[in-house]
Structure 1
């Protein structure tokens, strides 16, 4: 993937990336709320899940395609490739470690790709609802 931005433009763009209350998280949250699903935000659990259903012990993460290595859209930049391979590989390892830690604590984990929400928030919300209904 060729980076079409100058290093200064890329720095400014990346400095604006936020870790919570992103548009995809808000869209998914609204879709779930409309379906009657009640959740908590920013609960102090490993990995800080984006949405938490405490009664169902269900943690939902909304994963960006770039940062979490989406198999469809997760391309490694051509610039500084070695750095990005390590960084993104570490992110994937951290995601797996968090999933295992939460599972060990008795939590179920659902990960939703941002592209799933962009393609249709209703389908992404239904994926979470299926997990909610499947919880004891």
Structure 2
């Protein structure tokens, strides 16, 4: 196992700068949804997991997940850090477990749930198709 090249205090400061809301991928998705005419609410705290975008008219909750933090399967951005492997495996597994529980709770409440992955926000044309499909799927 290789050692971290920065002190624990500096690493903590770096990690504290990572935002959970209004991230660049979220902003891309929100902009495109608005451009496509879909109106939404943000972070509805009365719903499990406070979904990133909620489309009440369509019964749809949308999460914009970071590939690293939420373990996008077979994605190059979902790598495992080389230091403190046990810590990261535990932390990231809990994120995935929480995501599944949140998704199931929303489904049980009658919502449709869609996850947009961070890496998908890099190609606007494919993202547009993915968003359009989210509104036509099971509608």
Residue 131 (structure 2) pairs with residue 128 (structure 1): yes
| Shift in Å, 1:131 | 1.7
Match of 1:75 among 61, 79, 88: 79
CA–CA separation in structure 1 for the residues paired with 2:94 and 2:35? 36
Q: Which residue of 2 aligns with 1:41?
A: 42
**TM-score (normalizing by structure 2):** 0.88
Q: Which residue of 2 aligns with 1:26?
A: 27
Q: Which residue of 2 aligns with 1:58?
A: 60
Q: Aligned-residue CA RMSD in angstroms?
A: 1.9
- Gap regions ≥5 residues in structure 2: none
CA–CA separation in structure 2 for the residues paired with 1:5 and 1:49? 35
**TM-score (normalizing by structure 1):** 0.90
Three-state SS of the structure 2 residue aligned to 1:112 is: strand
Residue 138 (structure 2) pairs with residue 117 (structure 1): no
CA contact (8 A) 1:69 1:92 kept: yes
- Gap regions ≥5 residues in structure 1: none
CA contact (8 A) 1:3 1:77 kept: no
- Number of equivalenced pairs: 135
Three-state SS of the structure 2 residue aligned to 1:110 is: strand
| Shift in Å, 1:133 | 2.6
